[in-house]
Structure 1
């Protein structure tokens, strides 16, 4: 049997393995961040930080009044809706429909598993930690569930980062890849910040939602990457005899 390893093949192999290891490392960091935050929150160590940041976003003379003009509060309400169940469900269904129409049922199933599993994870974590919502300032929007972690921050991270990763892989241009991923990150950050600005979450709720949501999205993006590699025909010279 002849083994013919070309330098280009070795470079491609190294890049692929570094990519997988980077994803695993990022997942581990995000999980550690979430567990660290959860531990501090349950021990009551984050109270001073949470209260200080929440009050910093209110006028000094009236905690009912968020900082900034009226239009900024309205914009925050619009932005926060991007992380709501209804909007995320519509975005997910639209992405699934596109993937099915594009002949990518496996990727569509991965999106369903990622978003559906992320929603279940958020519900279980809220039930498990059962942290009360902030009562330091009035809420800018209606809320019905527990506070930790932020479901909007978690859901936005799962949906936007997962879809951003899948979309970026299909683009040959590095600049377009960076743009898509940057927009996914920006949307995720804006949704989380809006929850604190509207007074419906403690800052650590949002940080924890970002951390666990990013870990979940990265894990499913890694699975999608592995599935895509296995289903892709090997180029000439990279098969079993190459």
Structure 2
């Protein structure tokens, strides 16, 4: 017979995943209907020089910091980090968690391009982009991938500090995409929400006494 506490945790996590997916759907409508245009535009312009969209009103070093942070959220860094986590879990004989981490990250990597194709939202114009991106904009792949990978790695490390560090890192990576002008704020919000749903669903599967 299943432990009532385990059942309750799984139900709570499943409910959280469902709520996050609903919020993702609302964000998609908000973004694609044009309802988010005003906030999205403000998020791009508030740190830019009014006379030159490519000039920032913050110290020059912040651009390099943003590029470094956004690089951490790119697949060439996320993927090896996830692989290292899977290997570590297998070596530690935590095979169930290793498989769950692999499935979560791999399925997210498969779902992302399909989701982008489905929504087919254009990125901000090149005049805003401080680095160049060409793929579809919604949801942010960096925000989505980081929200799946880093909090899960932190959670499976067994310390709440690392889980929260992973959440903060995913948050910073998402904001860096807006700062660099390659995503609308609503794209990033969509990535966070979808990633959060992915994590909740994964942990719900793992939840046990």
- Residue 172 of structure 2, aligned match among 190, 194, 206: 190
- Residue 154 of structure 2, aligned match among 141, 164, 170: 164
- Residue 32 of structure 2, aligned match among 31, 42, 46: 42
Q: CA deviation at 1:153?
A: 0.2
Partner of 2:203: 221
Greater Cα offset, 149-158 or 213-222: 213-222
Whether 2:18 is the aligned partner of 1:24: answer no
CA RMSD of aligned residues (A): 1.6
- Residue 75 of structure 2, aligned match among 62, 85, 89: 85
Work out the number of aligned pairs and report it: 207
- Deviations, residues 20-79 of structure 1 (Å, cap 9, x unaligned): 232122212211110001112221211111111111131233211123111111000000
Output the CA distance in 2 between the equivalents of 1:66 and 1:109.
44
Check whether the contact 1:154–1:209 (CA below 8 A) recurs between aligned residues. yes
Q: Please list every run of at least 4 consecutive aligned residues from structure 1 whose deviation after the TM superposition is greater than 4 angstroms.
A: none
Output the CA distance in 1 between the equivalents of 2:30 and 2:164.
30
SS in 2 for 1:144: coil
User: Where does structure 1 lack aligned partners over 5 or more consecutive residues?
Assistant: 1-12, 169-175, 230-242
Output the CA distance in 1 between the equivalents of 2:8 and 2:38.
40
- Deviations, residues 155-192 of structure 1 (Å, cap 9, x unaligned): 00010122222223xxxxxxx42x12210110010000
Superposition map of 1:1-242 within 5 A: 13=3, 15-135=5-125, 137-168=127-158, 176-177=159-160, 179-226=161-208, 229=209
Output the CA distance in 1 between the equivalents of 2:191 and 2:106.
16
TM-score normalised by length of structure 2: 0.92
- Larger gyration radius, structure 1 or structure 2: 1
Output the CA distance in 2 between the equivalents of 1:45 and 1:51.
11
Output the CA distance in 2 between the equivalents of 1:220 and 1:60.
44
SS in 1 for 2:207: helix
Check whether the contact 2:54–2:130 (CA below 8 A) recurs between aligned residues. no
Output the CA distance in 2 between the equivalents of 1:36 and 1:99.
36
Check whether the contact 2:123–2:136 (CA below 8 A) recurs between aligned residues. yes
Output the CA distance in 2 between the equivalents of 1:78 and 1:64.
18
TM-score normalised by length of structure 1: 0.80
Output the CA distance in 1 between the equivalents of 2:38 and 2:18.
28
